Structure 1
Amino acid sequence: MIRTIRHITLWAALALSLAAFVYSAGALYGIHQNNDLIRQLVSGKDVAVNKVIGGEPELRLARAFYFKQKHRYDEALSTLSLIMDKSGRDFQAKARYNLGNLYLEQAMQQAKAMNINEAMPLAGLAKQAYRQSLALNSGDWDAKYNLEVAMRLLPEMDRVDMPDDELKNQKSQLWTTVPGFPRGLP
């Protein structure tokens, strides 16, 4: 009787171990496939939508980055909006950081084209996305730097848009709102 119980227990343990091995191998294969798709997207090659939909949020983030590289901003924005609240805090911070980069790039393009009225709301959205990213991960130096760039872009645009008389009257107020450049690590 005891020998039969021991025999059944060993076979059950073996079956359970085999099932765990098959599950782990399948998960590892899925990770490998996602990494290959991410490499394709980062190198500039598009991936079929059906492969991305079932993939991890990181794969969708890579697809949004691909769209940003190709200046397909609406598609990048819609892809990022699908993954904003996925996974943990670090991933959410990355998604918001990339959203800020998307808005900032558009704002800078509009500013270069002297479309100040279009650039101002985009710069504001970029600042908001960077602040949200920093609220989730306060140690992200890239988000801090890009927030600084977005904050400097907006006052510059305000100054270009103002008549000369208004600029002289508000000069002191303008410079009190612009933060100074950091002069090194704290």
Structure 2
Amino acid sequence: MTRERLLVFTLSALLVATLAAAGTFATRLWLDHRANAEIVALAAGRDVPVAADARPELLFARLAFLTARDRFDEAQPLMNRIAAAGERAIASAAYYDLSNARLRAALSHLEINEIDPAVPLVRLAKEGYRRALALDPGFWDAKYNLDIAMRLVRDFPQIETSGEELPPEAAKRLWTDLPGLPRGLP
């Protein structure tokens, strides 16, 4: 009788473990299906809100939706959450996409000769490309776009003034931040 009880107990424990595993996998499958449906909706152009603790893939889809519409102020917190998630490939791609959108917006400003709003966008794009390259040093597209952005707005060393104003002759020798649009390949 003891062997029969042991067999029943073992089979019952195995059945409970199997049901628990099946429940866990079913829940994960349902969550993955729901996240994929939200990603498809965002890719189709529908504005779907995303939870703060969502998966990095879903956050990336929301970031791509926002950057396609030049909503950078809403996209930046998502970028920070993606970077904090620890998924290096997704974070690198997200930095690249956000930087591309900023560079496109800057080029749109430059096409209509609005230089002042273009300079900070190019600088933010350069910073994003640098972060993407820090996560993935072999990311050739980010290297190329960083080179283009570096040609648009150069990084000149800052002049130490120690609280004094520059004399007028020194101010004349300063370079402009935006030398011009590069045309064609280098």
Whether the aligned pair in 2 keeps the contact of 1:68 and 1:102 (CA below 8 Å) is yes
- Answering whether residue 45 of structure 2 is matched by residue 44 of structure 1, we say yes
Which residue in 1 is equivalent to 2:85?
A: 86
> Does the aligned pair in 2 maintain the 1:52–1:59 contact within 8 Å?
no
Q: For the Cα contact (< 8 Å) 2:63–2:78, is it kept in 1?
A: yes
Aligned residue pairs, count: 160
Q: For residues 92 and 80 of structure 2, what CA distance do their matches in structure 1 show?
A: 13
Matched-pair contact (CA < 8 Å) for 1:104–1:150: yes
Tell me if the contact between 1:97 and 1:133 (Cα under 8 Å) persists in the aligned partners: yes
For 2:117, the equivalent position in structure 1 comes to: 118
List gaps (5 residues or longer) in structure 2.
155-171
Q: Distance in 1 between matches of 2:26 and 2:139?
A: 34
CA distance in 1 between counterparts of 2:4 and 2:137 reads 60
Q: Distance in 2 between matches of 1:134 and 1:27?
A: 33
The 8 Å contact of residues 57 and 86 in structure 1, kept in 2 or not, is answered as yes
**Distance across 2 between alignment mates of 1:123 and 1:71:** 14
Say which is worse superposed, 28-37 or 138-147, in terms of deviation: 138-147
The 1-side partners of 2:90 and 2:124 are apart by 19
Aligned to 1:160: none
Structure with max Cα Rg: 2
One-letter identity of the residue aligned with 1:3:
E
TM-score by length of 1: 0.73
Gaps of 5+ in 1: 156-165
Using the alignment, how far apart are the partners of 2:103 and 2:84 within structure 1? 21
Q: Give distance in 2, aligned partners of 1:43 and 1:148.
A: 32
| 1:73 maps onto 2:72 in alignment | yes
2:161 match = none
- Displacement of 1:54: 4.9
Q: Is the 8 A contact 2:63 2:94 kept in 1?
A: no
Q: Aligned partners of 1:34 and 1:65: how far apart in 2?
A: 15
Structure with greater helix percent? 1
**For the Cα contact (< 8 Å) 1:107–1:122, is it kept in 2?**
yes
List per-residue Cα deviations over 1:88-130 (Å, max 9, x = no partner): 2222212222232232122222222322232222212211211
Aligned identity (percent) is: 36
Aligned counterparts, 1:117-136, within 5 A: 117-136=116-135
Q: 2:9 aligned with 1:4, yes or no?
A: no
Amino acid at match of 1:96: Y
Contact 1:60 1:83 in 2 (8 A): yes
Contact (CA 8 Å) 1:127, 1:151: kept in 2 or not?
A: yes
Q: Which moved more, 1:19-28 or 1:90-99?
A: 90-99
